[in-house]
A = this chain, B = another copy of it.
Amino acid sequence: MTPSPIKTVGVIGTGVIGASWTALFLSKGLKVIATDPAPDAEVKLLEYLQKNGSSVPKSKLTTSSFLENLKFVRDLDPYLGEIDLIQENGPERVDFKRRLFAHLDANTPGHVLIASSSSGLPSSAFITKCKNNPSRILIGHPFNPPHLVPLVEVVPHPGTSDAYVTAACEFYRDLDKDPVVVKKETPGFIANRLQAAVCSEAYSLVSRGVVSAEDLDKTMTSGLGLRWALSGPIMTNTLGGGGNFSHFMNHLGPALKTWLDDMHQNSFNFDSQEAVNDLKDKVNGWVSTIDLKEVESNRDAFLSSLVKDKLGSSGAKTDR
């Protein structure tokens, strides 16, 4: 069985992640059939789309046509034959996903790609009852919010066929996303592991009083993060080595090792309630002085314009 061309996407679960995926899919001209059991799900989804639909980079739609391609349904089953790809965003519970995926696998044509947005569960944990074609199941983990941030982690399970990994990457790339392939199922995949590495050291530095929470964040937003938005850690090392990664490793590897040893010796103790409480106090002392709603909406607006700039586009074609 080979993947099909994708025109209609089924979105299961329309919370924050599912709604954001829906905004992306619709903006790129795809049809979406969405479902969610919450009583107010449809109303909330429409609100989300009205608010965020126009900020999708490189949108292909005008505002007026934005919602024409959306169908919200209580029960997806009657529509499973019309769907070319499923993006699942249900709760992160293995028993729930096992039942859901067994049902989807049994009731969709065998060539339909089924992607889960799961950030925590590897798909090998929940395909155990899929008897039809589990080789078309994989993780397509977005970075929040999916309608703005290009990254998608594509994580096959050991039985996922290469054709479906390739098809998933092509599908996401056609939506102006940047898929990366996580070749082995690994806790936290890639992004959450890199994020945990930074957070752990950040917590240690703030809780030990080396730097304030505000200045810790500034170190990222006014320095490291600016550079990392444009060149990744490996390329940054390579450029830092005069265009030669080996040169960088030979000359700066030892310093890196010294810092890492010191970090390890002073690592944040997640098991100490005292350390955790002290960190919370220090952070809350800072963030309680800030209008977080404003921070978040400014960030998302800037993020949208940054991604548009990176895509080399003047942005959405909507008139809003």
Contacts and interface: CB of A to CB of B under 8 A. Distances in A.
A198 B194 contact: yes
Nearest to A181: B215
Interface string A213-242: 101111111111111111111110111100
A230 B299 contact: yes
Given A292-B238, A295-B239, A186 B200 contact: no
The listed residue with most B CB atoms (<10 A of its CB), out of A151, A188, A200, A220, is A220
8 contacts: A149-B226, A149-B227, A182-B211, A183-B212, A192-B259, A229-B229, A239-B296, A239-B299
A180 B287 contact: no
Contact of A246 (B222, B253, B284): B284
Contacts of A292: 238-239, 243
Contacts of A211: 180-183, 190
Interface stretch (A38-46, A74-82, A158-166, A302-310): A302-310
A255 interface: yes
Number of copies of this protein chain within its complex: 2
A223 B191 CA distance: 8
A202 interface: yes
Interface in A36-95: none
A193 B217 contact: no
A114 to B, nearest CB: 22
A223 B307 CA distance: 10
B150 A222 contact: yes
Contacts of A223: 143, 149-151, 178, 191
